[in-house]
Amino acid sequence: MNHKSDAQIKDELILCQHCLRTANNGIKCKGICVADSDY
């Protein structure tokens, strides 16, 4: 597993507020984000 410090995690830009994914954490977007966004 890849263990990161809290500081590293906080420095990552959260790309999606629903699934909390970042460019580096490997989480897949759930697809509900666009419907709930303010676009």
Would you give per-residue pLDDT tens digits along the chain (39 residues)? 666 666 555 678 888 877 888 888 888 877 777 655 554
The total number of residues shown for the chain amounts to 39
Helix (H), strand (E) counts: the chain:
2, 0
- Output the pLDDT for position 23: 87
Which burial class, exposed, middle or buried, applies to 2 when counting CB atoms under 10 A from its CB (0-12, 13-18, 19+)?
exposed
- Output the pLDDT for position 15: 85
State which residues form the domain around 17.
1-39
The number of folded domains in the chain is 1
The pTM (predicted TM-score) of the whole model is 0.43
CA 21 vs CA 25, 30, 33: distances in Å? 6, 10, 11
